[in-house]
């Protein structure tokens, strides 16, 4: 991976100028970053347009730009599940999230766990929701770090340091990615990130639209591109008499991911930073424009196969280290002129930086509000609160760094699917709690959560953390299903059943501080 001076210069200027804009934006607005509501929630001030950029920048991540096309390039049609996933999450945004926004706005909740604490009067359940949020986000941040690492390495910043004692150190691109993210998040907070997500949106659209026009012209049209694809994986396989087959696992991955998405702390931070319910409702039909870009990027995975970048000697090293995750960077380097390749790489780099920043900010919020203030220092000053959040956001990034090094996954997408299994287990406490008035209580929800987490983790373990589709055998009939869905179904059944039993046996009422009118 030798550096092209033009591509490298364009990349460095764009990437660091954008990150710099984040600092500058924060300074210009003279925002008090020692206030958690400002650093961690942008003062709940973002209108339709900024929320469109911020949520778009928050939700469409290295998952979109690196992991999805890598899966399409390597495994074919199954990688396209991200398209139904990112379409189906919008009816959920439209119907469910405005209720959560309203109650958070009225009661001053900063995190999902704040809501659970208020709704069920249970510190234990709030702790479970907060801890799950942090644990599920770490692999997701890891995916972003990996995205930045691939970009830095691909553009040519892959020199090896020979350190005394330790020896040759190869992970320099990863270290640079980590440092940029850490310094950026600490100083900038959500206001600055909203600003650079505008730049991200523009860079991504320019790069993607150019790619889907230029590359098919070079290759002689889409017909030729698909003719070069592996016929065995061009479509999903069909099921058999006793196996529902890949079509079912495809649907389960789409649905499970769509349900999981709005439960992630970074999604909730994005939702809470909006200035009104209407902003969310409008974005439920404005944000799918990013899904259209995602579908085009997924098609780039097919193009990478048609171009045959995998077999080219100049990309052999990238493929050796990163596997199919190198498909899109290699495609850009091969198909674009150097300056435009630099721009496209900056789009991916900023594309990973924005969500990683929001993810670690929201983990900081969760730790501070629901663990530190709740259990360690209830009377801490606002400035201390903000300081703790910043330090904790750094800690989650460090954990993500360890995750990348320890679990080099040939398909980065598995990192995200693993987080999805965990975060889905908070659905009853966060989403169902918005609807079922008195049928759920903390004991029931905690029981369901515990079983769901245990079952989900066990399935992931049985799959050796290399996949997320678990084959459920029921009386000789095989159902290949996203483990998140299986664990969630168990969780819901147990949550309602135990809640029912508790209600029948005791007459303890739920200490619900929220009122019906808080939700509308």
Partner 1 sequence: MNGKRRGFHPIYLLLVLPFVALLWVPIYNRVEPALFGIPFFYWYQTVWTFLGTACTIPVYLYEEKKRK
Instruction: Give the binding site for partner 1 (CB under 8 A).
Output: 77, 80, 83-84, 86-88, 90-91, 94-95, 221-227, 234-236, 238, 247-248, 250-251, 254-255, 281-282, 284-286, 288-289, 291-292, 295-296, 299, 302, 435, 437, 514, 516, 519
User: Least CB distance from residue 90 to partner 1, whole Å?
Assistant: 6
Minimum CB distance to partner 1 smaller for 266 or for 282: 282
**How big is the chain by its Cα radius of gyration, in Å?**
23
Rounded Cα distance between 377 and 382, Å, is 12
Minimum CB distance to partner 1 smaller for 33 or for 211: 211
Question: Which of 95, 39, 515, 58 lies closest to 268, judged by CA?
Answer: 58
Minimum CB distance to partner 1 smaller for 302 or for 430: 302
Neighbour count for residue 480 (Cβ, 10 Å): 19
User: Least CB distance from residue 401 to partner 1, whole Å?
Assistant: 34
Question: Which of 151, 180, 147, 199 lies closest to 21, judged by CA?
Answer: 199
Minimum CB distance to partner 1 smaller for 278 or for 383: 278
Minimum CB distance to partner 1 smaller for 1 or for 413: 413
Minimum CB distance to partner 1 smaller for 142 or for 258: 258
Question: Which of 97, 177, 179 lies closest to 352, judged by CA?
Answer: 177
Q: Are 513 and 121 in contact (CB under 8 A)?
A: yes
User: Least CB distance from residue 481 to partner 1, whole Å?
Assistant: 13
Minimum CB distance to partner 1 smaller for 437 or for 476: 437
User: Least CB distance from residue 269 to partner 1, whole Å?
Assistant: 23
Residues composing the chain: 520
User: Least CB distance from residue 426 to partner 1, whole Å?
Assistant: 19
User: Least CB distance from residue 239 to partner 1, whole Å?
Assistant: 9
User: Least CB distance from residue 250 to partner 1, whole Å?
Assistant: 6
Backbone angles phi, psi at 228, to 5 degrees: -85, -10
Rounded Cα distance between 465 and 463, Å, is 5
Tokens representing 245 are: 């087959």
Rounded Cα distance between 336 and 61, Å, is 22
Sign of the four-CA dihedral 355, 357, 358, 363? positive
Q: Are 362 and 269 in contact (CB under 8 A)?
A: yes
């Amino acid at each position: 991976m030798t550096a092209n001076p033009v591509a490298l210069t364009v990349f460095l200027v764009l990437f660091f100028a954008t990150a710099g804009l984040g600092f500058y934006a924060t300074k210009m607005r003279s925002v008090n970053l020692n206030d958690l509501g400002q650093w961690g929630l942008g003062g709940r001030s973002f209108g339709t347009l900024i929320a469109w950029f911020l949520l778009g920048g928050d939700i469409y991540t290295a998952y979109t730009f690196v992991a999805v096309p890598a899966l399409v390039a390597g495994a074919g049609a199954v990688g396209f599940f991200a398209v139904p996933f990112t379409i189906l999450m919008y009816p959920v945004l439209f119907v469910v999230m405005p209720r959560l926004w309203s109650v958070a706005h009225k009661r001053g909740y900063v995190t999902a766990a704040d809501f659970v604490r208020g709704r069920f009067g249970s510190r234990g359940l709030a702790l479970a929701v907060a801890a799950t949020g942090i644990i599920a986000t770490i692999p997701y941040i890891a995916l972003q770090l990996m995205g930045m690492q691939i970009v830095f390495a691909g553009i040519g910043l892959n020199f090896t340091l020979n350190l005394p004692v330790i020896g040759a150190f190869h992970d320099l691109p990863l270290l640079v990615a980590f440092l940029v993210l850490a310094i950026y998040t600490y100083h900038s907070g959500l206001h600055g990130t909203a600003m650079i997500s505008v730049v991200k949106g523009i860079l991504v659209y320019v790069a993607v639209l150019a790619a889907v026009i230029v590359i098919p012209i070079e290759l002689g049209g889409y017909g030729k591109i698909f003719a070069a694809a592996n016929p065995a994986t061009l479509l999903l396989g069909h099921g058999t008499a006793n196996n529902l087959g890949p079509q079912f696992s495809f649907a389960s991955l789409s649905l499970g991911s769509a349900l999981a998405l709005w439960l992630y702390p970074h999604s909730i931070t994005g939702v809470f930073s909006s200035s009104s319910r209407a902003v969310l409702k409008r974005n439920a039909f404005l944000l799918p424009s990013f899904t259209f870009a995602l579908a085009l990027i997924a098609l780039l995975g097919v193009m990478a196969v048609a171009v045959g970048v995998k077999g080219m000697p100049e990309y052999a090293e990238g493929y050796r280290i990163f596997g199919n995750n190198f498909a899109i960077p290699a495609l850009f380097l091969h198909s674009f002129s150097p300056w435009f390749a630099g721009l496209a790489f900056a789009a991916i780099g900023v594309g990973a930086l924005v969500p990683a920043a929001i993810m670690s900010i929201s983990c900081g919020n969760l730790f501070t509000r629901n663990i530190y203030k709740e259990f360690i220092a209830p009377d801490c000053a606002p400035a201390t609160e903000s300081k703790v959040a910043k330090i904790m956001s750094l800690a989650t990034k460090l954990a993500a760094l360890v995750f990348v090094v320890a679990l080099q996954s040939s398909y980065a997408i598995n990192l995200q699917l693993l987080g999805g299994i965990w975060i889905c287990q908070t659905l009853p406490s966060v989403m169902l709690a918005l609807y079922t008035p008195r049928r759920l209580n903390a004991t029931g929800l905690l029981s369901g959560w515990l079983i769901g987490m245990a079952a989900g983790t066990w399935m992931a373990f049985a799959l050796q953390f290399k996949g997320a589709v678990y084959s459920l055998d029921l009386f000789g009939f095989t159902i290949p299903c996203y483990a998140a869905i299986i664990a969630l179904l168990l969780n819901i059944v147990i949550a309602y059943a135990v809640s029912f039993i508790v209600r029948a046996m005791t007459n303890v009422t739920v200490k619900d501080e929220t009122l019906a009118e808080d939700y509308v």
